[in-house]
Structure 1
């Protein structure tokens, strides 16, 4: 997924499986927010900005296509942006 250059470098999971893994590891979820819609909107806005000489594009090979892929995946629901707050129990 968006940053992976090859499929074997992509290790995404579903929000439910992520939450289960966190809870199984001994944490209790205090907050669980799906921020996919605001993240998609923000990425769509960022893609409209003029190119800059500084930023991630200076360090990430293929940044433009990766940012485009990320934006498309957020917009069509293939990728979720989850914000979680957990504490040990």
Structure 2
């Protein structure tokens, strides 16, 4: 019985990890790049707060401008390109820019 438990755990982890890897691979490269960039934009915008020191606010504003300046337009282009792909559209619609 003790021998089977580690084997079962290893088998479960292998199956789970391969399922996660397949989920990440389901998007085309341009969509995956957009999702990465969109996540960065979400993170950066969540960091910005009016109570921050001016220097930090300026740095965040500059970084948001660089990373996120065209994110809305990119989202619209990708939505048009993949309008018939339900998985891609569902992921893209989870971003509200």
Q: TM-score, normalised by structure 2?
A: 0.28
- Highest relative contact order (Cα 8 Å, sep 6+), 1 or 2? 1
The structure where strand makes up a greater share of residues is 1
**Structure with a larger share of its residues in helix:** 2
- Give the structure with higher Rg (CA): 2
Q: TM-score, normalised by structure 1?
A: 0.30
